[in-house]
A and B are shown apart, each in its own frame.
Chain A
Amino acid sequence: MNGAPMAEALPAAMTDVAADRLARLFDRHYERLYRLARRLAPSADAARDLVQDAFLRAARSPNAIPHGARDEEAWLVRVLVNLQRDAWRKSAVRSRYAGSPHHVSTIGSVESAVVARATVWRALDALAPRRRAVVVLHELEGLDVRAIASLLGISGVTVRWHLSRGRRELAVRLGALKKE
């Protein structure tokens, strides 16, 4: 190979300091981010991809990451939710459920709890990513409206709206299960 070594011309090549920071960022936030990803993604594989892609975004944009654990976390969460939104837009998840709000009616009492759980999770899959994130952060992670608004960078009114609509959509889709 002739010419300059590739590393010479890499734009904004990371310094050791930046690489160290990335390692700390990963160690500090991976578990929390994975938990959220697992609750936002349809599968464990998808969740692992999602978390890795979020950190890869951080690796490519080190200057965009704010300092401080809380702001770092909020930045990563927003990246993760946006990545999930991109993936969701490309997937057929929406069409799978469009117009079939009563799909859980086939779940009979003899079916296992595992099937019921899968049904609940598929109902979550049908929610738009930001709405799903709001529902998950509130219902499963116990965050209040103000904390969610701060984390996702949206207003409290928007959080309440997504929460209300998300719960309503889930109630429709899970109607049969709720009665059991």
Chain B
Amino acid sequence: MDPIRDLLKDADPVRHETIAPADRERARRAVLAAAEHPHARPSSVGRRVVLAAAVTAIAGGAVAGGKRWLGATTVHAAAVRFEARLAETTPTLDLQPVRVAPDRTIYLHRDVIVTNDDVVAARVVPGNAPGRFAVAVTLTRSGGEKMRAATAAHIGRPLALLVDGVVVMAPTVRSAIAAEAVLSGDYTHEEAARIAEGMLVR
């Protein structure tokens, strides 16, 4: 007799539960759908709620500097570091200045609101010009809550979205941003695909 083993066997939920065919089928459909769209990470069993975008309020456009991969001819699944940080339009000593356009400098807060760990899906979407593409980023529930809390108190001031340490977007927050944002960085499809895929590499 082994008391630990006996306790475990008695408590084993597999003995008392069954797999619901509907759950299995839902998972199967999600997995096979992912085979067709490997960039996207479908919500798990339909229970991870992907909140709709509140207002992304993109005021900034593409910013020069985030194009270090432009010369690449092959899309690699290399990790891309994604960060969202609050920013200001006026400097203080503890903020990091970043020139995002010839006539525009923003000042980054050091605290990071969300990172790759908070991204549940990243997909390529049409951009603002023919042949140009953007990356739509969907955050996890907790990531969305963090983003909402941070931006709700930051109306009228910039939010910086960074890829590999480079500010690629600096929109002015018009209202609290929930769980989705679009990096309209004016990318080629290949660049956008690389970013989308890289965001999901852990």
Contact = CB atoms under 8 A, between A and B. Distances in A.
A120 B38 contact: no
A10 B133 CA distance: 13
Contacts of A171: 4
Contacts of A59: 31-32, 34-35, 38
Interface of B: 3-5, 7-14, 17, 19, 23-24, 27-28, 30-32, 34-39, 41-42, 44-45, 47-48, 75, 77, 117, 124, 126-127, 129-133, 189-190, 193, 197, 200, 202
Nearest to A21: B35
A49 B44 contact: yes
A2 interface: yes
The dominant DSSP class at the B interface is helix
27 contacts: A2-B126, A3-B126, A9-B124, A10-B37, A11-B38, A11-B75, A22-B32, A23-B32, A26-B27, A30-B27, A30-B28, A31-B19, A35-B14, A38-B13, A39-B13, A45-B47, A49-B48, A52-B30, A52-B44, A56-B34, A113-B10, A116-B10, A117-B10, A120-B7, A136-B8, A167-B4, A174-B7
Interface in A61-98: 62, 86, 90
B44 A48 contact: yes
The dominant DSSP class at the A interface is helix
Q: Which of A10, A18, A23, A174 has the most chain B CB within a 10 Å cutoff? A: A10
A112 B189 CA distance: 59
Contacts, number: 136
B44 A116 contact: no
Nearest 10 CB-CB pairs, A to B?
A2-B130, A120-B11, A117-B11, A59-B34, A11-B75, A49-B44, A3-B131, A9-B189, A55-B31, A1-B126
Given A10-B38, A34-B19, A38-B14, A139 B27 contact: no
A165 interface: no
Given A14-B36, A44-B13, A52-B44, A26 B31 contact: yes
A51 B17 CA distance: 16
Given A3-B132, A10-B38, A59-B34, A49 B45 contact: yes
A26 to B, nearest CB: 5
B190 A9 contact: yes
A26 B38 contact: no
A20 to B, nearest CB: 10
